[in-house]
């Protein structure tokens, strides 16, 4: 049984008990990721327990609040636009207006309740408002719980590219309640699970075994099996960013599957694929490339591809010209000093990063996705 949050004591003197938190080291101190079923329903007590006793302003979106607000309790949130298209400085400006109206000062805490889009935007607002105010993440998608809420990266899109405007702003606390995932659409939930599979490849193959063994239970979108899986992935992300906050080395391993994934998202106009779906396709390409180079064990590639297939069909990208994908990888942020960094799986939860992938090799790796030609 995974420990569940318990609140006890007389009103006003409430205590909060939860499993031991996951610590994350950052350039401005250590913060905790608290993973517990039901944590969102006791948000104020969780914050108080963490020493965050000042005024709080909750920022969320209409959609998230309609799905989850009822479980978060008597809080009046600021609701802003949601979705990748709204992840802009315009929406951040709306957040500033709301923070001014709410008279937020340096002693206040801003609480972002939502997926990665809300977390990144609200985080960027918190990083810049009054030159930085306290931030708490309450992520409500798989993707946000296991990835975007941990590690301090915040930001927004620019008309010319995704996440081009941003900052590092560590949260004071991350409150992860996997039971919040029950209201996600099946597609959104599955998209996040591909990032979970990514952790299995880059850090701990036991995660793959667990997904395989508990998939029907996990797909109920709540419960102990899901909580255990989310907690393990949070720990992996926490360990990676603690060791390499500013992405000089180890943090780059998180880009496994993302080189081709981002290229496919761009090549399909950011409309056909959810990010996680693009990562699933990108992982298949990275595995094929690794096998072709003799660095990825073929058994691992087969196992991961089978697991991805077990989650259900992915949108087809067979119509995307190979040349478009190859060209898009050249414009990726993972290009450092003109060299594309490509993460390959080496088995047993390890990776290697190579910088000499040729266009020809890349085209070969796209074949399993149905992308052929020059």
Ligand X SMILES: NC(=O)c1ccc[n+]([C@@H]2O[C@H](COP(=O)([O-])OP(=O)(O)OC[C@H]3O[C@@H](n4cnc5c(N)ncnc54)[C@H](O)[C@@H]3O)[C@@H](O)[C@H]2O)c1
Active-site positions? 131, 153, 195, 237, 247, 251, 255, 258, 262, 275
Phi-psi region of 370 (alpha: psi -120 to 50; beta: other; left: phi over 0): left
Which of these segments, 7-15, 16-24, 114-122, 345-353, binds ligand X (CB under 6 A)?
114-122
- Position among 111, 133, 138, 143 found at the interface with ligand X (CB under 6 A): 143
What span, in angstroms and rounded, lies between the C-alpha atoms of 82 and 117?
Answer: 7
Q: How far is CA 90 from CA 79, 80, 87, 122, in A?
A: 14, 11, 8, 12
> From CA 362, how far away is CA 369, in angstroms rounded?
12
Element of type H or E holding 243:
helix 224-243
Smaller CB separation from ligand X, 14 or 25: 25
Residues 272-291 that bind ligand X (CB under 6 A): 275
How distant, in Å, are the alpha carbons of 37, 66, 198, 235, 240 from that of 147?
Answer: 18, 23, 11, 10, 11
- Piece in contact with ligand X (CB under 6 A), picked from 103-111, 144-152, 292-300, 323-331: 144-152
Q: Does 178 bind ligand X (CB under 6 A)?
A: no
**Using rule CB under 6 A, residue 83 touches ligand X:** yes
From candidates 183, 221, 268, 351, binder to ligand X by CB under 6 A: 183
Nearest distance, CB of residue 105 and ligand X, angstroms: 26
First vs last C-alpha separation in the chain: 53
Region 42-81 residues binding ligand X, contact defined as CB under 6 A: 61, 63-64, 67-68
Stretch in the footprint of ligand X (CB under 6 A) among 97-105, 117-125, 216-224, 296-304: 117-125
100-108, 147-155, 278-286, 341-349 -> range binding ligand X (CB under 6 A): 147-155
CA atoms within 13 A on the CB side of 43: 29
How far is residue 336's CA from residue 324's CA, in Å, rounded to a whole number?
Answer: 20
Which residues are near ligand X by CB under 6 A?
61, 63-64, 67-68, 82-84, 87, 114-118, 120, 140-141, 143-144, 147-148, 151, 153, 163, 180-181, 183-184, 188, 275
């Amino acid at each position: 049984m995974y420990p569940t949050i318990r609140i006890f004591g007389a009103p006003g003197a409430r205590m909060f008990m939860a499993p031991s938190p996951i610590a994350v080291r950052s350039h401005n101190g250590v913060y905790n990721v608290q993973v517990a079923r039901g944590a969102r329903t006791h948000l104020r007590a969780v914050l108080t327990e963490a020493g965050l006793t000042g005024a709080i302003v909750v920022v969320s979106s209409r959609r998230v609040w309609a799905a989850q607000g009822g479980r978060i309790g008597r809080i009046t949130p600021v609701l802003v636009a949601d979705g990748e298209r709204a992840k802009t400085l315009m929406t951040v400006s709306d957040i500033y207006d709301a923070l001014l109206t709410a008279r937020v000062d340096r002693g206040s805490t801003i609480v972002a309740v939502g997926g990665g889009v809300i977390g990144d935007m609200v985080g960027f607002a918190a990083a810049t408002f009054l030159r930085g105010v306290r931030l708490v993440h309450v992520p409500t998608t798989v993707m946000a719980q296991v990835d975007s809420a941990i590690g301090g990266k915040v930001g927004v899109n620019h008309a010319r590219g995704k996440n081009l405007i941003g900052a590092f702003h560590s949260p004071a606390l991350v409150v992860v309640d996997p039971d919040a995932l029950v209201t996600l659409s099946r597609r959104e939930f599955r998209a996040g699970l591909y990032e979970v599979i990514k952790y299995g490849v880059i850090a701990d193959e036991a995660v793959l075994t667990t997904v395989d063994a508990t998939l029907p239970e996990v797909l109920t979108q709540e419960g102990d099996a899901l909580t255990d899986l989310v907690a393990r992935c949070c720990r992996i992300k926490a360990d990676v960013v603690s060791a390499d906050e500013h992405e000089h080395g180890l943090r780059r391993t998180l880009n496994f599957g993302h080189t081709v994934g981002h290229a496919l998202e761009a090549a399909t106009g950011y409309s056909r694929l959810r990010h996680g779906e693009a990562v699933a396709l990108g992982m298949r390409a990275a595995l094929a490339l690794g096998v072709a180079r003799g660095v990825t064990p073929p058994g691992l590639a087969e196992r991961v591809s089978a697991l991805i297939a077990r989650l259900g069909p992915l949108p087809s990208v067979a119509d995307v010209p190979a040349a478009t994908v190859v060209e898009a990888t050249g414009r990726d942020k993972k290009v450092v000093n003109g060299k594309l960094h490509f993460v390959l799986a080496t088995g047993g939860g390890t990776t290697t990063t190579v910088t000499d992938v040729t266009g020809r090799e890349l085209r070969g790796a796209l074949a399993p996705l149905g992308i052929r030609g020059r």
